[in-house]
Amino acid sequence: VEYGTDEKYGSKTPLGWAGQQIAPRLVFAELKGLKPGTTYHYRVGATNASGTTLGADATFRTASER
């Protein structure tokens, strides 16, 4: 997973193993260093013998501090 405050991302999670089946997968990742009340961009990538594919950009917003 690549993530950051814009579409340049800037941060990546460690690579993980998703198995060998050809089926949709849930992806879980720990994102570190997030700031409250901030919109982040992210995308998920996958690599196999044919190469790497990157998913579409998506966003989420962290909760504001109380």
Per the CB < 8 A criterion, the answer to whether 18 and 25 are in contact is yes
Mean pLDDT by 10 residues, the chain (66 residues): 96 86 82 96 91 95 92
Per-residue pLDDT, 13: 94
- pLDDT of 47 reads 86
Query: Exposed, middle or buried by CB within 10 Å (0-12, 13-18, 19+), for 52?
Result: exposed
pLDDT of residue 51: 92
pLDDT at 24: 81
* Amino acid identity at 10: G
Stated pTM of the model: 0.84
Q: Give pLDDT, residue 22.
A: 76
